[in-house]
Amino acid sequence: MKKKITYTDEPKGKVKVVSDFLPSPEELVFKDETVKVTIALSKVSVDFFKKEAKKYNTQYQKMIRRLLDEYATHQA
């Protein structure tokens, strides 16, 4: 894949910068009151969280829960 990429100076349209409000994986390991739900997630997402949870010696479900909590808090 040594094909040279050629960039053009095309107009991008209206651009909106969105601040990065999502927490890092390190910030997703806190304990909170929980409610059980059933949800189907993509394999890619689950594999990512399992890998990150292993690094920080925690459960991947807790990290996913914390991510959703941060999102909900930010949107409220």
Distance, CA of 18 to chain centre: 15
CA neighbor of 60 nearest in space, from 68, 71, 70, 49 = 49
Does the pTM exceed 0.75? no
End-to-end Cα separation, the chain, in angstroms? 46
Rounded mean pLDDT, 54-74: 91
**pLDDT surpasses 90 at 46:** yes
CB 63 within 8 A of CB 29: yes
pLDDT band for position 3 (cuts 50, 70, 90): confident
